[in-house]
Amino acid sequence: MRINTTRTAGLLAVLALFTVGTVTGCGNETASGRHGTQVRGTDPTPDPQDRARRVADAWDGSRAAESWAEGYYPMEETVQLPAGAFRNDADKRAYGAQNFVLRGELPTTSRKDGRVKWESGGSLTLPLMGSREAFEAIAGGGGDGPHLTVTGAELGSMPLVTSRGPATVPAWLFTLEGYDMPLKRVALSPSELPQPPIGPAGEVPTDKLAPLGGLAEVAGDGRSVTVVATHGACDEGPAVDVLETDGSVVLSGSVVGTKDGPCTAVLLSKEMTVQLDRPVGDRVLLDAFTGRPVPQE
């Protein structure tokens, strides 16, 4: 099933593995797990549909799938903004740049573990992230310009969509100057990813298959997913196909309208929404190129 582009996510920084300037033969560019490098993978399957089926077959019923089903993997942003955020464009820019200032003490806790509780039943205990670590996860900017001020924090919880459905997870609730409601940040790290049962695709033109940039969103009803797909400056944009099985949803990225000849080596990204025949549920979302779960952006 071919789907349409939604909104443009904007220009990404040119990756270090791209040569600044121009490249030739844009229509013949190859993809790898590191965007544009010509490193051969372990699966030489050239046909995109066959590759997607091979990825699905490798995962369905595998030990990796069992580990995924038992773990905790967020399927949406692990930061929840205060209601009504933002007050102004300056605050919005500050958040985007991760410019935070701490004016106050962050609490410590004697708790070493936190528990994920799923709406469908079951729970999982994982190491609890401290308030300082959680703060540093959201405050990585530290540059000039507008900033948001954190005046305190307390340990609470927040709802979160995960690979096993909706859950309630521990979260640090940061008090922001000028806001009545806190900014929430999940206080747990995801489970370790299982070893994939299939290697990445081999050298293949990007108009056939390309790696995805990451997972942007899963719809509330689970019937669509939005992923970040990349493309170049000399093509018509990315496309994403989907193969659904009982145990997985395999997404195949590619580039359409590629052209031969010189092309500026810039990398663009677009968010692509894929409609599914049925809700994602506890099925694993897989990137056909890498053979791995699509990472949370």
Mean pLDDT of the region 93-101: 93
pTM over 0.75? The answer is: yes
- Shared domain check, 165 and 83: yes
Q: Which of 186, 216, 233 is where one domain is finished?
A: 186
Query: What amino acid occupies position 69?
Result: A
- If one counts every other C-beta atom within 10 angstroms of the C-beta of residue 180, the result is 9
Query: What amino acid occupies position 295?
Result: P
> Looking at the 3D structure of the chain, how many domains does it have?
2
pLDDT over 50 at 19, yes or no: no
CATH number, domain at 118? 2.40.128
- Shared domain check, 224 and 171: no
Q: Which whole-number Å values give the CA distances from 220 to 169, 178, 208, in the listed order?
A: 17, 30, 31
pLDDT over 80 at 3, yes or no: no
Q: Which of 137, 161, 186 is where one domain is finished?
A: 186
Contact 213, 228 (CB under 8 A): yes
Q: Is residue 15 part of a domain?
A: yes
CA 155 to CA 174: how far, in whole Å? 9
Q: Which of 146, 166, 186 is where one domain is finished?
A: 186
Mean pLDDT of the region 243-257: 93
Which tokens hold the place of 174? 């940061």
Q: Is residue 170 part of a domain?
A: yes
3-state secondary structure string across the chain = CECCEEEEEEECCCCCCCCCCEECCHHHCEECCCCCCCCCCCECCCCHHHHHHHHHHHHCCCHHHHHHHHCCCECCCCEECCCCCCCCHHHHHHHHCCCEEECCCCCCCCCCEEEEEECCCCEEEEECCCHHHHHHHHCCCCCCCCCEEEEEEEEEEEEEEECCEEEEEEEEEEEECCCCCCEEEECCCCCCCCCCCCCCECCEECCCCECCCEEEEECCCCCEEEEEEEECCCCCEEEEEEEECCCEEEEEEEEECCCCCCEECCCEEEEEEEECCCCCCCCEEEECCCCCECCEC
- Shared domain check, 207 and 276: yes
CA 142 to CA 44: how far, in whole Å? 45
Q: Is residue 292 part of a domain?
A: no
Which domain covers residue 132, as residue numbers?
A: 79-186
Confidence of residue 25 (pLDDT cuts 50, 70, 90): very low
- Look over the chain and give the mean of its residue pLDDT values, rounded to a whole number: 83
58 phi/psi in degrees, rounded to 5: -65, -40
Q: Is residue 293 part of a domain?
A: no
- Shared domain check, 130 and 85: yes
pLDDT of the residue at 22: 31
Q: What is the largest CA-CA distance in the chain?
A: 62
Of 42-51, 75-84, 107-116, 209-218, the poorest mean pLDDT is in 42-51
- Shared domain check, 104 and 35: no
Mean pLDDT of the region 44-64: 89
pLDDT of the residue at 270: 87
Confidence of residue 82 (pLDDT cuts 50, 70, 90): very high
pLDDT of the residue at 259: 72
Q: Alpha-carbon dihedral of residues 45, 53, 195, 165, nearest 10 degrees?
A: 150
- Shared domain check, 207 and 140: no
- Shared domain check, 227 and 168: no
- Shared domain check, 65 and 203: yes
Mean pLDDT of the region 230-259: 88
pLDDT of the residue at 5: 36
Which tokens hold the place of 161? 């969509």
Q: Which whole-number Å values give the CA distances from 289 to 19, 49, 277, 295, in the listed order?
A: 22, 11, 22, 13
Confidence of residue 153 (pLDDT cuts 50, 70, 90): very high
pLDDT of the residue at 220: 83
pLDDT of the residue at 40: 37
